Structure formats: structure tokens, C-alpha cells
Chain A
């Protein structure tokens, strides 16, 4: 067999074994994202930057997919530790923008957001932890994985980036639950933070507390609030609501075109989509996005290897959490907090991590046999 035929066969085998359906779904989501970004930039300005980021996500996906699953498993602690170091570095000497230190400057003007990479690192780390241990029966068995999530949570909170920090909690809870943690063990883990919420409210910064109260009273905003703390929420709801059933059409949304909607390339990108594609388009997009998470959940059941199952389900949870928070914020269901919509929002780190996560799903999915065991049996 010629080398290229061998490569083709291997590739076919890889694809057959892997959870390839996530790829077309992700591609569809990214395409919608590209269209929305194009609409934001204006029909006459093709968003080349965004296309480059998509290419970067594709590249990251390919690289991650090409890396054997065992490497991911073996190096998860290293990846996690590297992200932790970067998170600390960011706090110490990262680039401050918007009164927050979130980015590490790289060569050539590129910048890196370690908290985004930490999301994938945490998935890998928790997957490895839970895959190698029996189901947690006592709360102390959750202490280490809990600390794995809590440390980045606190570091990211200190940046401060509440939105990103908040994604670690549901990820940890979901993975702990999937690991078979007893419900009575998990209940206090959920309840204690909820009971401590009033204390947390007192610790909030003024702008955060004001934003929270604006959200709580979003039906009765004054003109001043609409122009100030409630500006994002108000315009987002206005964009979505005025879109109606069918929307204004691509690049025709007035809130988008007149630059009235803030953060419309990142946190409020869904509002642009809803304004222009209407209820039908936005719901279809939600279902498309949800189907990616659902596909990941389904795919995770195909595998026997616990690490693969946790990783793939974890990535599914990652996308589902982001979708829920981002769209919930845009529609006013949750208080306003900045969180991008992976694969749609502008942002290199988020895009690269999404690509990597998909690559890891492919890689671990294609992980046919428990190689280590077979090696030991041989």
C-alpha cells in the first residue's frame, strides 16, 4: 500500500472513530458567526480579522485533533499548571484594559487571554481526575477537584472577570455530578454558595451592584439608567425585541447599523443576530448551538474510556454554559456580565480555545482502545 493510500485509510479510520458530527455543527455555527461579524462591520467591510481567527480556530482544531489523546491525558496537569502560571502572571504584570488585567502580550501585537485556555485545561484536568478515581462519596473527595476549579475561579475573579469566573462553577458541578458524586454531597456544594450570595453582594463593586439592581428593575428603568448602567441591557433588548419574528434582514438591523448597540462584536453579538434574523433565525441558531452540546453529550456515551467520556461531555458543558449565560445576558434573563459566545464572538483566545476543544473532542473520540492497558497486557 502506498503511503498516501495508507494515510487516507488511517484518516478514514480516524474520522469514523472520532465524533466527527461536531465538526460540521461547529462549522455551521462559525459561519453564522462570520456572517454576523460581517454585518457588524458593514456589508462593504469584510471582517478579514474574524476570518483569520476562524482559520486560527481551524488550525488549533487540527493540531489538537492530531495530538494523541494519551498525550492530552498525560499532559493535562502540565497544561493546567501552565495556565495557572499565566493567570498569576496576568495579575502581576498583565496588560490592563478597562481597569482589568486579563491579557498577556505576545510577540507581534498578539495577546493571549489565559482564562480562556484555563477553561479547556480545567476540563482536561477534571476529566483526568474523575476518570482515574472511583465515584466521590464524601465531600472531602471533592476537595481536590474543587480546589482545581476554585483556584482559577478566584484568580480570574481577581482580574476581575466575573463572567469568565462564573463559567468554572457550573463546569465543575456538572463534571462532579457526571462523575457520580452523591446528590447529598453535591447539594451543600450548590447550596452553600447560594446562601453566601448576600455576603457576596456586599463584596460587589459599586458598578456591579448598580448593574445588578438595574437588571432586577429592568422593567422600570429611568432615562438616566437607560443611558448609563442599563444602557447595554436596554439596547440589547430593544434590538432583539424590535427584530420580531423574521428580523430586519442581514446587515439591516438599525441598532447594529447605527452603532447604538454596545459590545456587538463580543458579548452582545447574539443581539445583532436576533435583530437581523428575528425569532425564527435566533431560535434556529440556539437549537444549532444546543445541538452541538447535545452531540457532545451523545458522543461521550459512545466511548468506554472514562477520560474520553469526561472530556467530550465537559466540552459539551462548556459550550452549553457559554450559550446559556451569553444569550441569557443579552435577553435580560441574567444580570449583565461580559462573556463571549464561543465561535461567534470576536476574540482570538476564545476562538482558539473553541478550536482546541473541538480538536480534543476529535482526538479523544478517536481514541479507540485503552492503549496503555493494551500495552501493559502485551
Chain B
């Protein structure tokens, strides 16, 4: 042997050892801090702390929506069977019995995965027969464990330790061949088990009592969740296996099942894929058709509703997997362990909204209830039904675009989090992203505003999650060291201008006004008695707008719905011909904005304003009303004769306005209406809940412009407006300011700004119009005279809007309107009342409703201090 060659060999090893030392230096000296950070991160338990969504109050401080503390009982099956690894908590006896039985009862561990039939009982059955099953386990000798691999033996050891309180080393030694049965090797095991079993039974009984469950029900529910997880696991395994043979991911596979997918080898169609898979897995041997195969693969896509019973579907997928195991075992290799690690660790709600006592019991006895946790999750409560449509709803996020937007940020955050060598700039980016992702991103199950105030003020109402990062302690596994804590930032409150008591008064006024109208119909032979059935069921909206600060204390709509009806009978509400979901003040229904009525004669003052602004002598100009004009009718059958603007407004002469509008032309009236906000939402709640319509001259046939001008001048066909819009318009007539209605007075304790637009209203024009509109109520010849509005100094205009056809369940195609303001000299309130399908003129119904409202003690009390 040559010494020089020995030196060469030694030198090679010397180089290798030097490389090892250098590698150690790299890891332990150069990258030390990164690895410390990584180790810390991997041992860190991260918990988020939910925030409470902001409360929504009415003007008087009455709660309309709030988050109430609620607790859900959660199950993590992995912890339930294995215990909490960081805290030395053993798993639950029931699951350990079941899992140990599962390991021993099947010929091979793999078969438990896709056993065609569910041969074993569940967790609850294993626990019920606990002592018997334990005796069976105690009779097990190591010779019976030959089918178990290392992981299976490790699992069994784990469960035996938990069940019988045995030492790990002693069990490892016992597992050598030739050892006696477990019970003989460890005589102390049986009493230890019985003690544990009794303790577990007591603990379960206590919890079941608090949950108001029948004896055994808790474990039955655990078993149900476990079966669901198992089914999901099998379906996922089948999907993964199906994709494996074609190098498709699960999402690609679904694309393929939906039609086709592009692969590296070209386009793969659904039919081709299914046929090839059918052949690859030799599916015919298992008796499945191609359609059945597709159904099983699509199982994961289907909604849980209408699911077959879990055990049946479990069995079906099991049969499929057995066939895959026979035909293409490689497709399934290593699937179960990785999937079960993932799926069994998922949090599932065992029972929502449990009592505080349950929380107390579980917190005080953590070792007795492994895998069961009580999680605080605030519940959104709507204690007052008055303004549900306006308050809106909050629900789980359904905005996929938002999810996609956040995904990019989250991916970047994860990338940075796993990067051990961040630059200072990347570190800063990481911190900012961490704040956003952990505190502000919308998480699954998080509640977001979906409509109404909840949606419009979502930014304010949403808070920021807090979090608590704990490091599992090195020295004491039961203790955790707090690393980082940020308390949650609760959502800010929103105080609405809405006064629920006033709204109730308005609703009562609607009932009373309709009754009064019905009485008048009965008494007055001139009124159409066919209106009476419709008057029995009021369908109306009433808006009250404060002209000083643009607040809207009343946005009353009838009929409306209760929270319970909304939650439990939504589809009935949608189909109800009375349309309780339709907000009659805004023009909003369940699906979004919905057409509001034409404003009818309440629109006429706008035409008068256009005429006066062009030529103030128009005030004195007279037109002849003969009861009809160009095929159109006036309310006065035989006409008003020669009539001027004042009288035309007071008596609501259509022919006057047909002629005036024709003279003015469609364009000027359109532009003025547009300038006064018609055709656009008023902006309350961002305008998302309002309907507004004003037809653009370009959309009108040139040859029909004159006719269009006539219709527009009496507020028909070419314009539609909500009562809120009309109230705003009459507010402008009273003050010269076009307000943006304020539904929220304060957000987070700060007053919302008052927004108004000045639209020129020359003083003389204003005086003339205000005078005429005052006389509508005050003058004996006015259309609203004698309905009780005089005493409140109301000025305004009645309206009778017609629709070409009546909606479902309606009795008439005529709506009754009144819009105005009061007091007429010092305008404080603008008001609009809309009564749907009454078959009566505005002065025969809407005015009566308004008068009832103004007489109500609630309104008097509301106005008195001011």
C-alpha cells in the first residue's frame, strides 16, 4: 500500500471535512439570525382576534345593528385524536380507541383509506363499547402488527400511550416480536384505561348537558364531521389521482370536466379525458359508467344541498378508489397521509352560538376536551325592524374580484415571509404587507357590508383584526411566551339621521291616511269606488328632509319586513305581490334599484320654473284648456277655460302644461331637470340604492319631440323619480339649495358634512312659484285644500301618476303623490308622499297621509324643541 496514495485519500476526506465545517459556519455563523427567526416563526402560534363591527344607531341612539358576542364550538379532528402536541395534551379516548381499532382492524393500513364499505363503527360506537374494545386491544400481541409500517406503528404507539398511559420506550420494546400480549406485558394498562375512560365519560356528559345534547349526541356529531372530512379526503384523493395520470392539477381537471383544457400535449376534451381515464382505471371492472365516474369526480364541485347520505357517497368513492388501487396504484401513492394531515387539521364548527358556560368549561379543563375549542365570533344582530332595508345586511364576502386582488398581496407576503434574506427595503414591504394581510384583508367567513348602510359605510364599520403571536415555550410546553400582541380595532359606530319613532309614526299615518281616503271614497260619489280594495292594504313611501342640515329623519316605506322574515322566508318576500322588499322612498328592491313611478304633476313646478326663467311674463300668459289637447286629457273633463300659470299650478291643469312644454321644447325642460338632479341618484348611500330616470333628448325620436315635451311637462313617461328626489326638488324650490340627503349624521363620532349645491332660483321666480304652491293647499280651489295640511303651513303640489300597465296584484294604474315643504314662510322640512296604485288623485290620498303624519304626537314632539 502506497503511503502517498493514503495521503491522497486522507486529503480527500480532509477537504470533505473542511467543507462540512464551512457549511456549519455558513448555517451557524453567517445565517444564524435568519435561522433563529425561522425557528421562532415555525414555533410561533398565530391567532387572530376578531373585531366587532361598528354599531348602527338611529338619530335617538337606538341600536339598529350591532355585533353581539357569540361563541362557536369548533372541532379540529387532528387535535381531537392526537391531542395538542405543543401542550402535552393527550387526544380524546373515543378517537384514540377508534383510530387504534382502525389501525388493527384492517388487513392493510391502506385499505382503511378506500374500504368499499364502512366496515368499522364510528368514533361514537368505539367509545360506547370502550371497555370491550380496550380489552381487545390489550389482547394484541406484536405478532399482529406485522402489517404496519413505521408510521402505522408510530401512530399505534401514540394511541396506546394515550389510552393506557404507557411509556414510549417500554412500548417500543414491547413491539419486538415474541413479546406477550399488551395486557400481560403491562398489567397496569387496564385499570389506567378504565380511569381515563371514566374521566372522559364524565367530561363528555358535562359538556353534553351544557350543549343541551342527548347522551352520546356530541360524539355522534364529531363522527359526522369526521365522516364529512373522510369523504372530502377520498374525493380529493380521487381527483388528485385522476389528475396524476394526465399531469393535471385539480383546477385544470375541473376545467377539463367543464369542457376542455390545454395541456402540454395539446387540447384535452372532457369526453376524451373521461374515456381515457375510464380505460386507465379499468373502471368497467368496478361497474361504473363514464357518467358515474364523472359524477364522482364532480362531487367536490357540488353544493352540499341535496347531497346523498354521507356514508353512501363515502362507500361509492371508496369503491372507485379501490379500483384505482387495483388498476393504477401509482396514481394514489402517498395521497392519504398528506391529505389527512391537511384536512384533519381544519377547523370545523361543531355547534354555533354556544353558551358562555361552555367556554368556561373548556377553558378550565383543556386536557379533558382536546381538539374542541370555543371561538369567539361576533354575530350581527338587527334588533329593530323599522329600517332594515336601509340599514342593509352584512354577510360573508362574495366578491371574487376582491379575493383575487388580495391573493396577489398575500402571495407576495408569503414569499417575503419565507425569504430568509430580506433586504431592508423588502423588510419594510414585508411589515406593511403583514399589517394589511393579517389585519385588513377579508378572510373567509368574515362579515362585510352587502347592502344599505352596512355597505356604504363598510370602511368605517369594519374594524381591524388584532393578533396574538405566541412562541411555544422551550422550557415548559404548557406555557407560551407572548411575542406580539395587537389588540383589535373595533369598527366605528354610525349614527343615522333616521328617527325610528318618527318612521313608526309615518307608518301609522299611512294606515290612517288610507283609511281616511277609503272613507272619503265611500262618501264622495265623484271618487272611483274601485279604489277601495287597494286602500285596504297601504303601499306607500314618505320622506321627510330637514332643509337645514339635509338630514333625513323619515324614509318610511310600507309594507316592510322583519329580520326574521328576511332570514327565514326570503323567497316568499321576493315573490310577495305586495313587494315588501321594495323601498318606496328610494326605488330599491332586493336585486338592486327598481323603477320608481313617474312624478306626475309634482313635476309641473319645474316646467313653470323653466318658463319663468326664460320669460317672466309667462306668469301672466294664459292658455285655453278645453279638457283635451292633442289627444291628451286634462283632469277637468270640460276644461279649465283660459288659465294662467298660478291657477294651472293650483288646479294642476294638464293642458296648460302640455302647451307650455310644447312651447318650451323638450331640450330646455330636460336640461333644467338634469340641473336639478333628475336622472341621477340623490347620492344618499352612494346612490346605489336609488332609481332615477330622465330620458335624454337623443333617445327621443325627433318627430316625437313635441309629444315628448308634452308628456315630460306633466311628469309622465320621460322622467321617473323617487319620493326622496321629489323632496329634494321641493326643498330647492323652498330654499334655492339642492341638498344631498344625509342619511348618516355621524360616523365614528364625527358629523358627516352637509353637502348642497346652489342652483340659481331668481327671487321673483321663487316668490311666484312659492305663492302658487302655497295656494295649492291654502286656496279653496287648490288640489290639496281641505285635507288638513293648512294648519301646518304646507306648500306643495299634488300629483297623479299613471302607468301604462299595473303591476302584479295591483288594482289600479294610478299613483297618488304629494311633494312640498313647510312651514311655507320659513321652510324647514321638505316632504314627499307616494301612495302606490291607489287609483286616487294626490289630493285624495297622499295629502291625507301627510296630514296624519304631521298631526302625530311623535312629529309634534320631534319638532317642538326646535
Contacts and interface: CB of A to CB of B under 8 A. Distances in A.
A, B in one complex = yes
Interface of A: 49, 95-99, 105, 108-109, 111, 130, 174, 177-180, 206-207, 220-221, 223-224, 226-228, 237-245, 252, 254-255, 257-260, 274, 278-279, 282-283, 286-287, 290, 293-294, 297, 300-301, 306, 309-310, 313, 317, 320, 323-324, 327-328, 331-333
5 nearest CB pairs, A to B: A241-B35, A98-B150, A109-B176, A279-B28, A254-B474
B13 A333 contact: no
A109 B20 contact: no
A242 B31 CA distance: 9
B1 A178 contact: yes
Given A241-B36, A258-B43, A279-B28, A177 B5 contact: yes
B754 interface: no
B622 to A, nearest CB: 85
- Which of B35, B472, B477 gathers most chain A CB within 10 Å? B35
Contacts of A310: 1
Interface stretch (B302-310, B333-341, B540-548): B333-341
B16 A324 contact: yes
B177 interface: yes
B141 to A, nearest CB: 13
A97 B142 CA distance: 13
A213 B202 CA distance: 50
Interface in B15-53: 16-17, 19-21, 23-25, 27-29, 31-32, 34-36, 38-39, 42-43
A242 B36 contact: yes
B8 interface: yes
25 contacts: A49-B169, A97-B149, A98-B150, A177-B8, A177-B9, A178-B1, A178-B2, A180-B2, A180-B5, A220-B418, A221-B418, A237-B35, A238-B35, A240-B24, A241-B28, A241-B32, A241-B38, A242-B39, A245-B29, A283-B25, A286-B17, A301-B6, A317-B13, A320-B13, A323-B20
Contact of A282 (B2, B24, B35): B24
A244 B28 contact: yes
Contacts, number: 157
Given A109-B179, A255-B39, 6 more contacts: A177-B8, A242-B36, A244-B36, A301-B6, A309-B1, A313-B9
A254 B39 CA distance: 9
Contacts of A301: 3, 6
Contacts of B29: 244-245, 279
Interface string B543-577: 00000000000000000000000000000000000
A84 B326 CA distance: 35
Nearest to B20: A327
B31 A241 contact: yes
B525 interface: no
Interface of B: 1-3, 5-6, 8-10, 13-14, 16-17, 19-21, 23-25, 27-29, 31-32, 34-36, 38-39, 42-43, 85-86, 146, 149-151, 153, 169, 173, 176-179, 330, 333-334, 338, 341, 414, 418, 472, 474-475, 477
Contacts of A109: 173, 176-179
Nearest to A280: B28
Contacts of B43: 254, 258, 260
A286 B25 CA distance: 12
Contacts of B418: 220-221, 223
Given A255-B39, A286-B21, A237 B27 contact: yes
Contacts of B477: 258
Nearest to A283: B21
A259 B149 CA distance: 21
A25 B64 CA distance: 81
A293 B1 contact: no
A2 to B, nearest CB: 41
Nearest to A238: B39
A206 B9 contact: no
Contacts of A293: 10, 13
Contacts of A323: 17, 20
A226 B474 CA distance: 21
Contacts of B17: 286-287, 290, 320, 323-324
Given A241-B28, A278-B28, A297-B9, A258 B86 contact: yes
A228 B6 contact: no
A206 B149 contact: no
B24 A286 contact: yes
Given A241-B28, A309-B1, A328-B20, A317 B36 contact: no
A252 B21 contact: no
B418 to A, nearest CB: 8
B157 to A, nearest CB: 13
Contacts of A331: 20, 23-24, 27
Given A294-B10, A297-B9, A300-B6, A286 B1 contact: no
A224 B472 CA distance: 21
A206 B20 CA distance: 29
Contacts of B27: 237, 240-241, 331
A310 B2 CA distance: 10
A271 to B, nearest CB: 10
Nearest to A293: B13
A134 B779 CA distance: 137
A374 B407 CA distance: 84
